[in-house]
Amino acid sequence: MAQKRILITGAAGFLGSHLCDRFIKEGIAVVAMDNLITGDLKNIEHLFKLPQFEFYHHDVSKFIHVAGNIDYILHFASPASPIDYLKIPIQTLKVSSLGTHNVLGFARVKKARVLVASTSEVYGDPEVHPQTEEYWGNVNPVGPRGCYDEAKRFMEALTMAYHETHGLETRIIRIFNTYGPKMRLNDGRVLPAFIGQALRGEDLTMFGDGSQTRSFCFVDDLVEGIYRLLMSDYHMPVNIGNPDEISIKDFADEILKLTGSNQKLISLALPKDDPKQRKPDITKAQQILGWNPKVNRAEGLKITYDYFKSLSKEELNKTEHRNLETLNK
């Protein structure tokens, strides 16, 4: 039997790079693809020496071609932090619309099973709490998050259409806030922002009064959920996230304690359309995939803090991502 191969888009990003590691460990050959706009080769450079690993520097918004068999596809290419998609809204829209179209067309040609990375952002600023997969969401299409939220909603619709029309084997995961090693320190998300500030001796920037909530999942748990969903036969959306909900204010206090820093919390304006609360209902993942998060926040934060501490001073002080300014919109 031919060696099984998986195409991972967004492979040099935070989640993509962890997925490369996982599928290599499973004995599946990995074809990694990334345009390196927000991803970083550093995250996967340890894999380049392996014969079962290949890398394509390619933008999936353009036609995709890979020779040979492809059995599985994980579509994880997309900016995923509010700061990134505010800077590059058009690329954000393109990768989940045109990019998803290319991925699904490619999957048809290869007769591959495809899992697309959707997000809790499809629920917008949710009026149902916790969020179940049946909730349709409360999204502002023309607000600052519209380019991400609507692109992901379109991605889900297109994926369902390929499933219904062409019988393509599809999986849709809705990912809630996830953290862990290899997150970009300067991506603007709350965890790298707070830890970076603590390490640089700056005050922590809390947006609003910090009463908004999030529920943070450690990356290893998410990767296990992705693996189980891909290998399942369930084609409707599944939430994967850790339901342990915390306010941003309490989260900031946890980070201050963890890092032992004496910095203050400063309150900045709450960004427009910032969801007030977010927590996954994971009944489906539990029942269909037998999945539960295993790593609690104290353990996960410690591992993540150790990773950020190991970065060089130069990386710690970098605030702009090197590739964003070279973009051709």
Tokens 């600052």 belong to 144
Rounded distance, CA 234 to CA 171, Å? 7
Rounded distance, CA 10 to CA 60, Å? 9
Rounded distance, CA 11 to CA 20, Å? 7
Min. distance of Cβ 141 from ligand UDP in angstroms? 17
Nearer to ligand UDP, 53 or 148 (CB): 148
If one asks whether residue 56 binds ligand UDP (CB under 6 A), the answer comes out as no
Min. distance of Cβ 127 from ligand UDP in angstroms? 17
Min. distance of Cβ 268 from ligand UDP in angstroms? 7
Nearer to ligand UDP, 55 or 251 (CB): 251
Min. distance of Cβ 120 from ligand UDP in angstroms? 8
Give, as ranges, the residues between 184 and 203 that touch ligand UDP (CB under 6 A).
188-190, 193
Nearer to ligand UDP, 207 or 234 (CB): 207
Short-list 286, 248, 280, CA closest to 267: 248
Give, as ranges, the residues between 244 and 283 that touch ligand UDP (CB under 6 A).
248, 271, 274
The total number of residues shown for the chain amounts to 329
Which of 72, 148, 162, 305 does the annotation list as catalytic?
148
Give, as ranges, the residues between 229 and 248 that touch ligand UDP (CB under 6 A).
248
Q: Which helix (H) or strand (E) holds 317?
A: helix 313-317
Rounded distance, CA 286 to CA 240, Å? 10
Q: How many CA atoms lie within 13 A of 75 on its CB side?
A: 34
Q: Which helix (H) or strand (E) holds 53?
A: strand 53-57
If one asks whether residue 81 binds ligand UDP (CB under 6 A), the answer comes out as yes
Min. distance of Cβ 189 from ligand UDP in angstroms? 3
Span of 207-215, 221-229, 256-264, 281-289 interacting with ligand UDP by CB under 6 A = 207-215
Residue from the set 82, 99, 180, 181 that interacts with ligand UDP by CB under 6 A: 82
Tokens 């990134």 belong to 84
Angle value at C-alpha 318, between 315 and 319, nearest 5 degrees: 145
If one asks whether residue 177 binds ligand UDP (CB under 6 A), the answer comes out as yes
Rounded distance, CA 60 to CA 282, Å? 30
Q: Is 148 a catalytic residue?
A: yes
Q: Which residues bind ligand UDP (CB under 6 A)?
A: 81-82, 177, 188-190, 193, 205-207, 212, 214, 248, 271, 274
Residues assigned a catalytic role: 148
